[in-house]
Amino acid sequence: MGSEPRQPGGPSPSAHKRTLCRSWTGPTGARAKTGVAMRRAMGGAKTITADEAAGLVKSGMWLDYGLSVNQPDAFDAALGRRAHGLADVKIRNCLTVHPRAVIENDPEGAHFRVFSWHFGGYDRRQHDAGLCHYIPLNLGEVPDYYRRFIDPVDIVVIKARPLGDDGWFNFGPTSVWHRAVIERARLVIIETAAGLPHVYGQENGVHVSEVDYVIEGDDAPPAELPHGPMSEVDHAVARLICAEMADGDCLQIGIGGMPNAVCSLLKEAGVKDLGIHTEMLTDGLIDLYQAGLVSGARKQLDVGKVTFTFALGSRTMYEAIDRNPDMWCCPVDYTNMPHVIMRNDRVVSINSTTQIDLQGQAASESDGHRHISGTGGQLQFVRGAYASSGGKSFICLPSTYEKGGVRKSRVVLDLTPGNIVTTPRSDTMYLVTEYGIANLKGRSVAERARAVIGLAHPDFREDLERAAHEHRLMPRAVAVSKTRQPAE
């Protein structure tokens, strides 16, 4: 798998050499050909303390922390202690799961600037405080950004499992773009974390010959992502989606209560031989796997494997994927690019949004100008599922929300000013609320407006229809498409 790596233009600013690795350790220890670029450190990997590693950072440098549970903790704490001796240190990370010392020890943002590819709750709060900045993207393109558009990172620091007998540090549950950063980095530091599960996959590790320094971390288990109870609305939406699914479908599930509710109901529906090719591996997907409903036997790509680029969830999930040959953790440009997704038949993509307009635009990442999460892979999976033979994509949401004790509609004539369109109207296939499901493909603006109004809470439909007529979205004489309503 994989393609020949793109070589950076011009000579590398680093003295490190890069060669092409012609093999990769598979789940059984066998070596398989691949086109991953190998970085060569000038000397052997040297074990140093976190404080010594933080001492290598100079003002003006760019650092990279990686994603989620692979972000460094010991190094971050040591760097935070140096805050007042540094200036203009810039750090890229993604989906932070612990408070970062570089922010907590620099509450005015005078010394460090943090940039994120996707917000979790902590990142969102820091963005509200002006201490974290979002980088727009399609998540599956990020490896290419590092190889083509971003200057080589001065220091990359990533958590990985302790060195294995085969000479590799395994990344555990998170591959994403870690190798792309390492390929061109001026300095590579690994912070070991024995608590990470060992996860098999494509390019899911770094060889000791590529590493400059090693920090011995702790054995703490990775952070868990709690998920709350599923609501009646979640179940109503899930029932509509499950009715569209069949044996052998290949799933991508996004984060949130509604996608996980789909997994819960699928267990009851008896659908079998499911495949998984997803960005994020969730507890809901692991529940399906452990229930024996996931075989991957009908996949065309990675047959028999659960393919993903990062896993974030409960300890039960981490235990389930540890040294499990059915699990296959791959770079995000393999899991998320539409031309790869479509190679599996009958891909079913299920993602959440927060607001839709009457033409089918889905705004999934901001509340006006306030950034909430990120584009992630939503658009790429919508497109990949559409291009898949027999594929379907579902964008789901509750019809209403409450703000200040007032119920408001998530189905609107116009998106909130400043809201970011994550999935354009031209890409939207199925829209789902607790009041129904509508396929917008091939529908005119007027037909779309009528169908989307049918997804709104009944209390808001009259006003929405009046607004649609006033703004000439829906002429009164138009023939309209049907919105399927949930079964009683």
- Residues belonging to the active site: 279
262 contacts 242 by C-beta, under 8 angstroms: yes
What contacts 52, CB < 8 A, 6 or more positions away? none
310 contacts 285 by C-beta, under 8 angstroms: no
DSSP symbols for 339-367: HHHTTSSSEEEEEE-SEEETT--EE-SEE
Two tokens, residue 345: 């038949």
8-state DSSP, 220: P
Look at residues 487, 436, 450, 461 and name the one whose alpha carbon lies nearest to residue 237.
436
Amino acid letter, residue 459 = D
CA distances (Å), origin 56, targets 53, 61, 92, 318? 5, 10, 17, 33
For residue 451, the Cα-to-chain-centroid distance in whole angstroms is 30
CA distances (Å), origin 285, targets 153, 253, 278, 387? 34, 8, 10, 23
Crossing angle of helices 445-453 and 458-470, in 10° steps, is 160
CA distances (Å), origin 196, targets 277, 369, 437? 22, 36, 40
Half-sphere exposure of 142 (CA within 13 A, CB side): 29
Two tokens, residue 57: 């950072």
CA distances (Å), origin 397, targets 327, 349, 353? 30, 14, 6
Two tokens, residue 143: 């490896």
Whole-angstrom distance, CA of residue 78 vs CA of residue 94? 20
What contacts 374, CB < 8 A, 6 or more positions away? 116, 117, 118, 119, 134, 137, 139, 365
Count of other CB atoms within 10 angstroms of residue 297: 12
Count of other CB atoms within 10 angstroms of residue 129: 12
Residue owning tokens 């993509």 = 349
Q: Nearest 5°: phi and psi at 114?
A: -110, 135
